[in-house]
Amino acid sequence: AQSVTQLGSHVSVSEGALVLLRCNYSSSVPPYLFWYVQYPNQGLQLLLKYTSAATLVKGINGFEAEFKKSETSFHLTKPSAHMSDAAEYFCAASDSWGKLQFGAGTQVVVTP
């Protein structure tokens, strides 16, 4: 079964600064990997997903993530943070149909 580790439960970034959220997975087989975002009192929205087509994946709202098999990582980045990026971000992985394993989440705070 997959396990997903997100480093840092809280991240604070300045508006305009780089956003970097770390995610590592455990698997002997490259899984499907996802980043979801959850705004306060809302459901989870898919930001992007990796399905082996390309190691650098671009998502919505200017986010992208890079799959690195050697590091079993799938870190999420955005070059310039916006106030509207304040939310909780979840990394998730699955190696079978639909059984997503979520990380614990990283709360992003954006300061002016």
- Contact residues toward other proteins (CB under 8 A) are 32, 34, 36, 41-46, 49, 51, 90, 94, 97-100, 102-105
Instruction: Tell me the three state secondary structure of residue 65.
Output: strand
State which residue, 40 or 112, has the beta carbon closest to other proteins: 40
State which residue, 18 or 46, has the beta carbon closest to other proteins: 46
Output the smallest distance, CB 75 to other proteins, in A: 19
- 73-78 β-sheet, strand order: 3-7, 19-26, 73-78, 64-68, 56-58
Output the smallest distance, CB 111 to other proteins, in A: 24
Please enumerate in sequence order all residues whose Cβ is within 8 A of that of 95, keeping only pairs 6 or more positions apart, or say none.
1, 2, 27, 29, 31, 32
Output the smallest distance, CB 44 to other proteins, in A: 4
- Tell me which residue of 6, 10, 36 sits closest to 22, measured CA to CA: 6
State which residue, 69 or 99, has the beta carbon closest to other proteins: 99
